[in-house]
A and B are shown apart, each in its own frame.
Chain A
């Protein structure tokens, strides 16, 4: 099934992300484009509400915001990005081995219809921040990615065409329905 997800690099996909954080009363919504540039290079470009680009290359993250000097930090310090990179690079590269290496995998559904992959990070240090990822998809298209953090915070990314359907006031259950609903 993973081999079927394979796409040639660079692969771009629109995303809309809702973050449900304990420090916030309501979720934080951003949207933009995710690009897998091949290998271990990934770009997360936020277009709304404020432009910001995060680029992962060679284990380092470069964060650029308009009117500010770029910030650099190690990928090790951003476990969320590490997980994003591991899962995306493996899925879009069709690399089941890599996915196996980074995560414990549980698979539900069938490859032709709707499916769900649950990934639990094997690296204990990563797992301290990111508890698990759930990817919902249909056929050869991933539709949603849920990143559950260890402290209960949750980020839900709607991918591809679904990104345009992010509600203005998303709720956990609303997004759940959207992800598992019909394409």
Chain B
């Protein structure tokens, strides 16, 4: 191609890339909801699990500690922070142990007679009022008098206090200076965010809000604020993973460029060979923006990793160029093999699409589009641009020696058999369970933070994140009624220490029927005034003191009963709303449990309700979810493997040659599994994904080594290309293997091991070398 035409092609290519970049910039919306990378739920328990993981009350809880040199300023900081956060719409509940009479919204104050259980057993008659007033008189002469004086005229029977006690967490932490403290002298606060727990973007805003409110407090300079909870973890892990991946990415990019410069000694070639990859990435993202509304951040991160395979295409072209030969001719020679490799990799990635997980499907679209674009641009565009004069790598001294040495390696037929037997033995004898079913192991929170979290939950009696009691009824009121009727059994379980606390939805709101029954118990104004007058006989209270009380009772008699919808406008009502879920025409009540000591006893709770009540074990549900997910991935992989055998057989037009390509690849894949298992690693979904990637790379090595050109120079070029590919893969994934984030490490280690094993086995099992 003429110089002018080359320049035109280059400019046109760059313009197309710029256009794609513009499309991406216009349309790309990155989502952060981690659940799109979790498997699709199939059973009702699994569906509930996915909702709870993302939006349940447990996932919205943030646990805060304030530590510092001494107790006194900590209590003030705790109070200051709670006051600031209560005014902020981002938080639905803030608890720090401080005595709070305002737990009932002032507008809902007359509802106290409908919400408190007092009237179930006790009418507001003269005898009861007299006893209560005598007790208030005692209270007034006690040191607690100042707490009470303001409340007395409105609420002489202290219903607001009874409700405050009823709604206080079941197990309160140690109180110091009126605030919660941990045994380690940290002030403790509990904040429920409005944002869902697994939306790291919204959680990050909520967390920033807390930090800002804290730092704005006077005296906060010497104190230290620490956060914990699922939302905080998702933000932290997201940031850590990003940070580590960025850092590793930068180092390996520099190494990668250095390696290519060393291999090809041409800056021009290097820059040009980056074009297919850049095209692949942009086309992949553009395809995603067209096919999906939102693109997940993890898709992009993993996608770029998986596209690493595509870097092989230009490398093969560069290494296989002969002196004086047009780049186009070298590519034509290579193309059938390259096409086989591209088709095979696309088939392997199709397995992701079949997994049915939204995030993995995006990944499949991204990588398949990317690989096709990289492959086609390497074939049809890149050769026209490459410089004409190149150094033929086949003439390099070290390469001749290396190829010679490899060709003379003994290749006894029993080597693959021995490797296969060793692999089988290692897989059979490896310690521990084979599969890692724990979702938590995939979202790796540092142990120290988990222990900190467990310690705070212990101190707070915060709900267990593992168990959830699920109540089912046709209507919302039905759930509340069921919850109410379970209360005695729940109390009995707590008394037996089978569990520390069970928080049923009816704790926050009784049924409409019960509220009506209580309303019936309220005396009319005349009756109440008469009873009050009788009770006040001989008491020193001012005659008209209790007018607000009489008015409130009168108001309460005429109130429409409180429903969850009306209640939802208040913080406590929001807490209740989170416990009531509408599902397929019926309602679910979610009761949290804390401190489970006897699971079997807890399972008997509501066992006589004909299946309307059951204990959901979130861990078991998540493990069954992961196991089902894996089964689907394995099935998809099996289908992909069969397709792969078919593709390779057709492409090579020989079952025997296909065997020579597929055997080392299969053996190496199982060898990676065996080595990881022997090292005590339990296999997670990420290991499987990484194995597929390594398999794709291994297929290239096997395909090219199997190719018998009968030309020693071409064999040397194949070795050169493969060595460059192996080294670059080892560089990128070997770096990832050193990451502290388990997901990155799982991928890095698996791919590095895979690349090494695939390389060795495909050389040792290459047929013609043995025949030489």
Chain A interface residues (CB < 8 Å from chain B): 17, 19, 21-28, 30, 44, 46, 50, 52, 54, 59-61, 63, 65, 71-74, 76-81, 84, 129, 149, 151, 153
Whether A73 contacts B99 in the complex (CB less than 8 A), given A21-B149, A24-B540, comes out as yes
Q: Are B140's CB and A63's CB within 8 A?
A: no
Min CB distance B539 to A, Å, is 9
Contact of B143 among A76, A81, A149 (CB under 8 A): A81
Contact of B142 among A26, A52, A72, A151 (CB under 8 A): A52
> Interface centre among B140, B143, B147, B541, by most A CB within 10 Å?
B143
The chain A residue sitting closest to B135, CB to CB, is A65
Q: Are A44's CB and B143's CB within 8 A?
A: yes
What is the bound-complex CA distance between A26 and B153, given in angstroms? 17
* B530 part of interface (Cβ distance < 8 Å): no
Whether A63 contacts B152 in the complex (CB less than 8 A), given A74-B178, A78-B147, comes out as no
Q: Which residues of B contact A54 (CB under 8 A)?
A: 142-143
* B653 part of interface (Cβ distance < 8 Å): no
Q: Are B175's CB and A80's CB within 8 A?
A: no
Contact of B545 among A23, A30, A44 (CB under 8 A): A23
What is the bound-complex CA distance between A21 and B139, given in angstroms? 13
The chain A residue sitting closest to B150, CB to CB, is A151
Q: In the complex, how many residue pairs between chain A and chain B have their CB atoms under 8 Å apart? A: 79
Whether A79 contacts B146 in the complex (CB less than 8 A), given A23-B152, A23-B153, A74-B176, comes out as yes
What is the bound-complex CA distance between A129 and B144, given in angstroms? 12
Can you list 5 A-B pairs, Cβ within 8 angstroms, ordered by A?
A23-B149, A73-B147, A77-B144, A77-B147, A80-B145
Q: Are A23's CB and B147's CB within 8 A?
A: no
Q: Are A77's CB and B178's CB within 8 A?
A: yes
In the A-B complex, the 8 residue pairs with the smallest Cβ-Cβ separation, listed nearest first, are: A74-B178, A24-B540, A81-B143, A26-B540, A78-B143, A30-B141, A54-B143, A76-B178
Min CB distance A168 to B, Å, is 13
* B491 part of interface (Cβ distance < 8 Å): no
Q: Are A129's CB and B178's CB within 8 A?
A: no
* B138 part of interface (Cβ distance < 8 Å): yes
Q: Are A59's CB and B143's CB within 8 A?
A: no
What is the bound-complex CA distance between A77 and B149, given in angstroms? 13
Interface size of B as a range: 20 to 34
Q: Which residues of A contact B176 (CB under 8 A)?
A: 59, 74
What 0/1 readout, one digit per residue, does chain B (494-516) give for beta carbons within 8 Å of chain A?
00000000000000000000000
B 100-155 contacts with A by CB, 8 A? 137-138, 140-147, 149, 152-153
What is the bound-complex CA distance between A149 and B147, given in angstroms? 13
Q: Are A17's CB and B143's CB within 8 A?
A: no
What 0/1 readout, one digit per residue, does chain B (725-748) give for beta carbons within 8 Å of chain A?
000000000000000000000000
Q: Are B140's CB and A23's CB within 8 A?
A: yes
Q: Are B141's CB and A19's CB within 8 A?
A: yes
Q: Which residues of A contact B143 (CB under 8 A)?
A: 44, 54, 61, 63, 78, 80-81, 84
Q: Which residues of B contact A44 (CB under 8 A)?
A: 143
Q: Are B138's CB and A25's CB within 8 A?
A: no
Q: Which residues of A contact B87 (CB under 8 A)?
A: none
What is the bound-complex CA distance between A27 and B147, given in angstroms? 19
* B333 part of interface (Cβ distance < 8 Å): no
What 0/1 readout, one digit per residue, does chain B (520-544) give for beta carbons within 8 Å of chain A?
0000000000000000000011110
